[in-house]
Amino acid sequence: MSDVTAGAPGAARGQSLLAGSARTRARRAREWRMKAYGIAAIAISLATLFFMLATIVIDGAPAFRQATISFPVTVEAAIVDKAGTRDPAAMGKVTTIGYKRLLSQGFIAALEARGIDREGITDKDLTAMISDDAAARLRDRVLADPALVGQTIEVTAYATGRIDGYLKGRVTRESAARDSNVTPAQLDLADRLMAAGMLSLRFNWGFLTGPDASDLRPEAAGLGVAIIGSLYMMVLVAIFTVPVGVAASIYLEEFAPKNRLTDLIEVNISNLAAVPSIVFGILGLAIFINFMGLPQSSSLVGALVISLMTLPTIIIATRAAIRAVPPSIRDAAMGIGASKMQVVFHHVLPLAMPGIMTGTILGLASALGETAPLLLIGMVAFVTNFPAGPLEGGVMDPATALPVQVYSWASRSDPAFIERSSGAIIVLLVFLVIMNVAAILLRRRFERRW
């Protein structure tokens, strides 16, 4: 019975290949399904990515334009310079309340001069259409140039967040009827102001250069401090991580003996790369702020924390770049009597440099978007003063960072801040795109195939 020539059942010898069986069709259908799942998975991820970016661009793009009202204001000496000395120190005693009155007078006069009907809107409500920020700016402008006192100057002031929102379609008459901060009558007036050319949307440099503003003045909130904070941090992170990262990588790749210590370092590096970022925030708070007494909210502490976090990434990238240099180069240099140290610094390191730079830029790019640890070291604080220049110890001054600003604006109640938050993301993403493109170009330019 053990006739070995007996074919297996179900596979008749000589059966035509053209007779495709139901089973084969079912198997092909399964294959098709697996492919379809794969395509669906890719479609889902990419669709989500594009959906997310689209919502952010749509939400955030209006942040770059701002409703502004232009009108002439007479800077009355009776209000801003009672003593008549034109001395900025004396004039500094007048607070923004005085300048607000000037603006109010100027605005009402402008309406009358243009013959724009105010339809029973009270003076208070009229003035409320202009951002509080305008008074502070006018004050700064007059203090900087006391000669303006007594003159009539053209003022371009931000409209309040609600008027701004109306021009951008965020605020409607229905929402205004329920809103205590704006009345439908003010919106009607806004329409007439637009028609008269006094109110318009303009490109908002203040968003990129101004400091943050309080909850009540979303229209004045800017990214200036956050951009400087992020810039300081990135420069410091590069200064801290590149030398240490390269030195550590050289040691581990070229010199480290195979022993317990080396193993311990290796394990630590791979684990640190996977430690949640918030843990680094705790480390920064406990060691740099509480123990070493460095100032809270400062870019220096932020940079230290981010450096420790980024180092493993940079070390991993650098080691890969060093490993990519073929051993034949080392053998050649050793063969003519160079010491190991000379081989590394004269041959291996220069050849690995493009790879190291690419890895470092990518590491910095991911560091730029890091948020959680910065919350713990106080960078989420409300900072309206610009940090000092880098040589005057500005890295010790309180600052915020771009991603943190995104978070703190997102957590405010006024919906106008969601627009700002998305706008801040656009700025952040522009920086990230620039860094990534730089890394790609660098790789293309110096790519070497051994």
Partner 1 sequence: MSVLLTLCLLAVLAVAGFVLCRARALAVVGGDARRLHSLPGYYGWHGAIMAAGPALLFLVLWQIGQPLVIEERLGGYFPQAMIADEAAETLILADVRRIAAGLEAAIASGAMTAEEVAGLDVAAGSLRDRLAATGVALGAEVAPETLEAAQAYRAMAHWGAVMRSLLVMGLALAGLAHAIRVTGPDFRARNRVERVMLALLMLASTIAILTTVGIVLSMLSESIRFFGFYPVTDFFFGLTWSPNFSGNSQLGLLPLLWGTLYISAISMLVAVPVGMFAAIYLAEFADARVRAVVKPLIEVIAGIPTVVFGLFALVTVGPLLRDWIAMPMGLGNSGSSVMTAGIVIGILNVPFISSLVDDIINAVPQSLRDGSLGLGATKAETVAQVVLPAALPGIVGAVLMAASRAIGETMIVTMGAGAAAQLNLNPFEAMTTITVKIVSQLTGDTEFNSPETLVAFALGISLFVITLCLNIFALWIVRKYREQYE
Partner 2 sequence: MNDMRLVERDVEQVTGKIEARGVQVHYGEKHALKDVDVTILDRTVTAFIGPSGCGKSTFLRCLNRMNDTVASARVEGRITLDGQDIHDPRIDPVQLRAKVGMVFQKPNPFPKSIHDNVAYGPRIHGLARGKAELDAIVETSLRKAALWDEVKDRLDAPGTGLSGGQQQRLCIARAIATSPEVLLMDEPCSALDPIATAQVEELIDELRAQFSVVIVTHSMQQAARVSQKTAFFHLGSLVEYGETGQIFTNPRDPRTEAYITGRIG
Residue 148 interacts with, from partner 1, partner 2, none (CB under 5-8 Å by kind)? none
Residue 275 interacts with, from partner 1, partner 2, none (CB under 5-8 Å by kind)? partner 1
Distance CA 277, CA 377 (A): 13
- Of 43-82, binders to partner 1 (CB under 8 A) are 44-46, 48-49, 51-52, 55-56, 59
Residue with smaller CB distance to partner 2, 25 or 444? 25
**Contact flag: residue 428 with partner 1 (CB under 8 A):** yes
DSSP state of 294: P
**Contact flag: residue 25 with partner 1 (CB under 8 A):** no
The phi and psi torsions of 297 (rounded to 5 degrees) equal: 65, 5
Tokens of 94: 């007048």
Number of residues that bind partner 1 (CB under 8 A): 88
Burial of 429 (0-12, 13-18, 19+ CB in 10 A): middle
Query: Shortest distance, CB of residue 35 to partner 2, whole angstroms?
Result: 15
**Contact flag: residue 437 with partner 1 (CB under 8 A):** no
Q: Which of 143, 244, 329, 396 binds partner 1 (CB under 8 A)?
A: 244
Residue with smaller CB distance to partner 1, 80 or 315? 315
Nearest to 364 by CA among 415, 303, 323: 303
Question: 82-121 mask for partner 1 (x: CB under 8 A)?
Answer: ----------------------------------------
Tokens of 431: 């920086």
Residue 361 interacts with, from partner 1, partner 2, none (CB under 5-8 Å by kind)? none
Distance CA 45, CA 39 (A): 10
Residue 311 interacts with, from partner 2, partner 1, none (CB under 5-8 Å by kind)? partner 1
Count of C-beta atoms within a 10 Å radius of residue 17: 5
Tokens of 109: 């006069």
Q: Which of 264, 324, 430, 434 binds partner 1 (CB under 8 A)?
A: 264
Residue 252 interacts with, from partner 1, partner 2, none (CB under 5-8 Å by kind)? partner 1
* Residues in Cβ contact with 15 at an 8 Å cutoff, skipping those fewer than 6 apart: none
**Contact flag: residue 297 with partner 1 (CB under 8 A):** no
- Of 306-365, binders to partner 1 (CB under 8 A) are 308, 311-312, 315, 339-341, 365
Residue 52 interacts with, from partner 1, partner 2, none (CB under 5-8 Å by kind)? partner 1
- Of 391-410, binders to partner 1 (CB under 8 A) are 403-404, 406-407, 410
Query: Which residues contribute to the site for partner 2 (CB under 8 A)?
Result: 2, 4-11, 13-14, 16-18, 20-21, 23-24, 27-28
Q: Which of 15, 251, 324, 389 binds partner 1 (CB under 8 A)?
A: 251
Question: Alpha helix (H) ranges present in 61-203?
Answer: 77-80, 88-91, 96-114, 123-127, 132-144, 161-167, 173-178, 184-195
**Contact flag: residue 366 with partner 1 (CB under 8 A):** yes
For CA atoms 268, 273, 278, 281, the dihedral sign is positive
Q: What is the DSSP string of 328-390?
A: HHHHHHHHTT--HHHHIIIIIHHHHHHHHHHHHHHHHHHHHT--HHHHHTTTTS---SPPPPG
